[in-house]
Structure 1
Amino acid sequence: MTQTRWMLHAKKADFNKIAETYGISPVTARIIRNRGIEGMEDIGHYLHGSVKDLHDPRLLPDMEKAVGILRGKVQEGKPIRIVGDYDIDGVCSTYLLYRALKRIGANVDFEIPDRIKDGYGINEMIIEAAAEDGIDTILTCDNGIAAVSQIARAKELGMTVVVTDHHDILVEESGNSGAGDDAGGQDGNDADAEDSCQGTEVLPPADAIVNPKMRGCRYPFPGICGGMVAYKLVQVLFEECGVPAEEWLDMLEIAAIATVGDVMKLQGENRIIVKEGLCRLGHTSNLGLRKLIEKNNLASDSITAYHIGFVIGPCLNASGRLQTAKLALGLLLCEDEMEADRMAQELKELNDQRKDMTQAGIDDAAAMVDELYQDDKVLVVFLPDCHESLAGIVAGRLRERYGKPSFVLTRAEGCAKGSGRSIEAYHMFHALVEVKDLLLKFGGHPMAAGFSLREEDVDEFRRRLNENARERLTEDDFIPRVWIDVAMPFEYISESFVKELELLEPYGQGNEKPQFAQKNMVIRSASVMGRNRNVVRLSLVNERGVSMNGVVFTEGDLFMEEKGNSRVMDIIYYPGVNEYNGNRNLQIVVKDWKFH
């Protein structure tokens, strides 16, 4: 078990008053406050927010201007081309805009860049091709805000350009050399405050730019994904064209999938969209989604944010990683039962292949770290044969395993391309700025980055990153922190409390599943279960004699070896109800532990 440091949230509030106002327990009130929610109105929105609480899309910059341009082009019959992105957010954004424009009679098609051939975002080849095809208007989604020269070229060619995006805006004096291959999409959404609060915004010369990150934006919640920006545009477009609101709401689950898939914080408006979207996914009218749910053996009436993040989302992402994202988009647009079935099966198989390739990359990377780089404070691993689209995932797993900032590089055409994943104590973008003389291209934020460099410079890159980190990173920085919501004795656990915790769902980034803790649990029994011996069943009793059954999902034999002769342990846990053969019993899932 990796060493962890346990931290107890200590945010203050009148928990009894919150509990009384909203008919919840003080424990649940404390958890809500721990998620950064304060003020009675905000707590009410957190617990009971619905579609009617979503913000006015017209508060987004240039929204009405963009809709006006698009309506005019539709009425004139001008050809419009949507240019999306190859990740799940880009695919969902493209789907939303394409379906909406088709609905109002537009002459519209789409283009999605190839991850390896084109890289992230719109490029001049895509623009030149659009001009050759006689396209009048380009509409970007989930990209475009950094494409200054590319959009200038589109304007030279006489095209109208509307940008919809959610990524951070380049600032002239920030030192940012532009988004790297991995930094502008799913892995690079958080604003880097130091780089975005000074200097002059560098904006593309588009006819309209809809982006909540623009300075002076009046939109109350800028932390939305590209799919949500597109969804907001669809709402205004439908309202202006007299399309019934039900048709806008019918696409809500796609915006929810984009939000979870792009790892946005499940707070405020995002949480409402995902909560509503999960309710609708069970009876979605989208044939492709239904087939994908079926192929992954998911129960359509109980899909969670976890299933989007770790099952549905990776399937939609797999096509952009290993083939073309047009396959995922084709599935969402498909209206033929047999074809949708075939495409869903293909996506599932692609994702299974991606998982096998990822695991092979993780195994190779870990073996290199153990053999060569164990003492390095910053891990830099070159895997020439690893698929470049998997570098970010492998880097993330290395970061989890070793608790260190991790960069994984692969061999690309004429250079090495890399992705990085960081820890809280290491500002990854600033670290790259310090070695930018070695880099061909880079971009990112504190926790993730994408970059490229000459293959012969990889060793120097590793050496200098570690030299720069020698004084900054201490051994203490490598110990992951695990946050505890409440030190809660077993006596407080009941079926009604477990049911009440469902009010806090959906869980995810920024709205993590609650964690409780107890010290000095006496271990009455412990046994390894399961065909793969990856479940440990525990019987525990606390200092006041209250007992509780628990399960631990881990390598059972290693757990028993670590336990040795110990009869007492401290635990972090989550309560639940175990149903078996018609019997219902309270139990806990143990998430972290320390033996005495």
Structure 2
Amino acid sequence: MRQWMVAAKKADFYAIAEKFHVDPVVARIIRNREVIGEKNIRIYLGGNLSDLSDPHQMKDMDRLVEILAQKIRKQAHIRIIGDYDVDGVTSSHLFLTALRRVGAKVDVVIPHRIQDGYGLSLHLLQQAKEDGVDTILTCDNGIAAIDEIAWAKAQKMTVLVTDHHAVPFEEHEGRRTEKKSLADAVVNPHQQDCRYPYKELCGAGVAWNVIRVLYENYDMDKREAEDLLDFVAMATVCDVMSLTGENRILVKEGLKRIRHTKNIGLQALMQACNVQPENISAYHFGYVLGPCVNATGRLDTARHALRLFETGQETEAEEIARDLVDLNQERKELTLQGVEMAKKLCEEGGYENDPVLVLFLPDVHESIAGLIAGRIREMYNRPVFVLTRGEEGVKGSGRSTENYSMYENMCGCAELFTKFGGHPMAAGLSLPEENVEKFRRKINENCPLTVEEVCPDIHIDMAMPVGYASTELVHQFALLEPFGKDNPSPLFADRNLSISRMWVIGKNRNVLRMSVLSEYGQPVPVIFFGDVETLFAYFTEKFGQKEVENALHGRKNRILFSMVYTAKIDFYQGNENLQLEMKYYR
């Protein structure tokens, strides 16, 4: 059972409200996000690019850019090796755009998920050697490719790594030591001796900082780098990075630019997804545009998505964008099938005492394992690994809860994997099939948390009567955007609510509308997108079938409940109306 936890952080909310001209509710939410002090509040509410840290602080930054500049002068063959997700594709596009701009001899390879696997594989390096490549530049990968880079260096190749994933380490007698890479330069803010203060950048964020310094070396207008921020913003949201500090600035600035983007591919993708540029938000990155880019890497090749961003032809861009939308629809259908298989396994496979779910679904396409893991995590509120049978053994993806560091706990099972990597909230792995059950057993034996403890609490910003919510207050919530990881939409709670009427809507009858009465009798419109049948069963158990029927017919009833909700504005026929969305109930 998930606990409802109302934040109890202290501050002079009325003083903050007066200073920054916001409602005290907004001031309280700002404090709940751990934004403390006038300078930090100012940056949170109105930070801009001048508030970003100096990229020269990143370890190996100047060295990497100096090597790149030397290679460009010599017209050495540089090959970018990216990844097949949104972060990897956008990082590859950023580097390709920037290096061409300064006259480099450069090409790019996006690994094929099935044929090449993740990241800097030996196969890709061997191919680069055969192609006469002098320098490898990675983006969104490379930090874990210790052996592969050692091979490349033995072949006299130059290797430059830009990445944001966890640095692999060895543990001996309780001491951790980072594994040493033989790369000529490694730019990754997670390195222990990297002085860059903000550690939560995605791969595209790291690549963009390299480009800032590269353009600076070529005395180029900094606005040229800033024009690339629409891609950085998309990658940051789609890679589920923390929307705090610098990432909030990058996403806000990127959203401004995508509304007027000159990239024909982005324009075509927004049109194919029926997204109006002037209305685009972080939500559209994460749930509309991003999944279409990801779908190519899952079911086909992410090189199509890169081609979309590279093309200068409107007709080609429109055709690729339509293909991406179609692929994403296919991906959705496959994911739904896989989720049903995973649910059945959870219910029948004796997993109720496992704090970490390790689900082996041999017939599921390996490309959607992570999506299924994410859905199952939401349903069961536990860290989840979904494993599938690949061409060379078992492959899998994991999605975690906020209080369980997935990558760190996987390090305790390292001997079972042929390959693994990731960060606290997500990870990927390969292992022999005979190790699947060993992995399930060991990851659970080593789990420091119980089933109840891995289940995340529901963090509520404040108890707020539904009657206090207003369109004026909701408009102020825009100051807190973009919403996402570590900066969620404000959540409120109220109790002793009754229902004057409720009714089911939607093509699949899976949306519930209610007219809810506050403790003081104020009527408020509420919408619920959760499991309507489960809610009805819960109310029936508590109050009886007759009371539920009365509520459905707008008759007086005895239903009394509490809810956690968000407050939004519903636009209908040009009018703005307050609407509360129920997230949880009891």
Name the aligned partner's letter for residue 162 of structure 1.
L
Find the counterpart in structure 2 of residue 262 from structure 1: 239
Partner of 1:538: 514
- 1:242-297, CA deviations, whole angstroms, 9 ceiling, x for partnerless residues? 22222211111111111111111001110001011112212211111111111111
**What is residue 547 of structure 1 aligned with on the other side?**
523
CA distance in 1, matches of 2:103, 2:12: 54
What residue in structure 1 maps to residue 551 of structure 2?
Answer: none
| Contact 2:461–2:491 (Cα < 8 Å) also in 1 | yes
Hey, what's the Cα distance between the residues in 2 that align with 1:119 and 1:166?
18
* Residue of structure 2 aligned with 1:363, choices 340, 350, 367: 340
* SS of structure 2 residue aligned to 1:41: helix
Higher relative CO (CA 8 A, sep ≥ 6), structure 1 or 2?
A: 1
Per the alignment, residue 283 of structure 1 pairs with 260
Which residue identity is paired with 1:383?
L
**CA deviation map 1:486-525 (0-9, x unaligned):** 1112342222211111100110011000001111012111
Residue 145 of structure 1: CA displacement?
A: 1.9
- Asked whether the equivalents of residues 528 and 557 of structure 1 are also in contact (C-alpha less than 8 Å), the reply is no
Cα separation, partners in 2 of 1:520 and 1:401, compared to 1, 3 Å: same
Among candidates 510, 523, 528, match of residue 499 of structure 2:
523
User: Would the aligned equivalents of 1:88 and 1:313 in 2 still touch at CA under 8 Å?
Assistant: yes
Deviation at 1:86, TM superposition (A): 1.5
What does residue range 388-427 of structure 1 map to in structure 2 within 5 Å?
388-424=366-402, 426-427=404-405
Give the residue type in structure 2 aligned to 1:282: R
Q: Displacement, 1:531?
A: 2.5
Report the counterpart of residue 562 of structure 1 in structure 2.
538
Which residue is equivalent to 2:553? none
Contiguous gaps of at least 5 residues in structure 2:
541-546, 548-557
**Match of residue 576 from structure 2:** 584
Partners of 2:215 and 2:364 lie apart in 1 by 44
Which one-letter code corresponds to 1:345 in the other structure? Answer: R
CA-CA distance at 1:445 after TM superposition: 4.6
Give, in whole Å, the separation in 1 of the partners of 2:216 and 2:405.
43
Per the TM alignment, residue 467 of structure 1 is displaced from its structure 2 partner at its CA by 5.8
**Alignment-derived partner of residue 16 in structure 2:** 18
Q: What is the rounded CA distance, in whole Å, between the counterparts of 2:159 and 2:463 in structure 1? A: 55
Q: What is the CA–CA distance in structure 2 between the aligned matches of 1:156 and 1:434, rounded to whole Å?
A: 30
1:383 counterpart = 2:361: yes
Query: Quick check: 1:47 aligned with 2:45?
Result: yes
Going from structure 1 to structure 2, the CA distance change for 1:206 and 1:556 (only over 3 Å counts) comes to closer
1:203 paired residue number? 180
Q: How many residues align?
A: 569
RMSD: 2.2
- CA deviations over 1:199-242 (Å, ceiling 9, x no partner): 33323222222221222322121211110111111112112212
Superposition deviation, residue 55 in structure 1: 1.6
**Contact 1:85 1:113 (8 Å CA) reproduced:** yes
Q: Distance in 2 between matches of 1:62 and 1:557?
A: 56
Partner of 2:155: 157
**Residue 297 of structure 2 is aligned to residue 320 of structure 1:** yes
Of 218-227 and 487-496, the range deviating more from structure 2: 487-496
C-alpha displacement at 1:409, in angstroms? 1.4
How many Å separate the matches in 2 of 1:96 and 1:343?
19
Which residue pairs with 2:555 in the alignment? Answer: none
- Partner residue of 1:272 out of 249, 263, 266: 249
Paired with 2:411 and 2:101, the residues of 1 have a C-alpha distance of 46
Aligned residue identity for 1:235:
R
Q: What is the CA distance between 1:386 and its match in structure 2?
A: 0.7
Equivalent of residue 101 in structure 1, options 78, 93, 99: 99
Whether the 8 Å CA contact 1:533–1:555 is kept in 2: the answer is no
TM-score (norm 2): 0.92
- AA of the residue aligned to 2:495: K
- Tell me: CA distance 1:425–1:247, structure 2 relative to 1, closer, same or farther (3 Å): closer
One-letter amino acid of the structure 2 residue matched with residue 482 of structure 1: I
TM-score, length of structure 1 as denominator length: 0.90
For 2:446 and 2:101, locate their aligned partners in 1 and report how far apart those are by CA, in whole Å: 55
Note if contact 1:145-1:167 (Cα within 8 Å) is conserved in structure 2: yes
The alpha carbon displacement at 1:143 in A equals 1.4
Structure 1 residues 262 and 108 mapped into 2: Cα distance closer, same or farther (>3 Å)?
same
Distance in 2, matches of 1:558 and 1:363, equals: 17
Match of 1:178 in 2: none
Q: How far did residue 93 of structure 1 move?
A: 0.9
Report the alpha carbon displacement of residue 473 of structure 1 after superposing the two structures with TM: 5.2
CA–CA distance in structure 2, aligned partners of residues 292 and 70 of structure 1: 32
Which residue number corresponds to residue 180 of structure 1? none
Does the alignment pair 1:373 with 2:373?
no
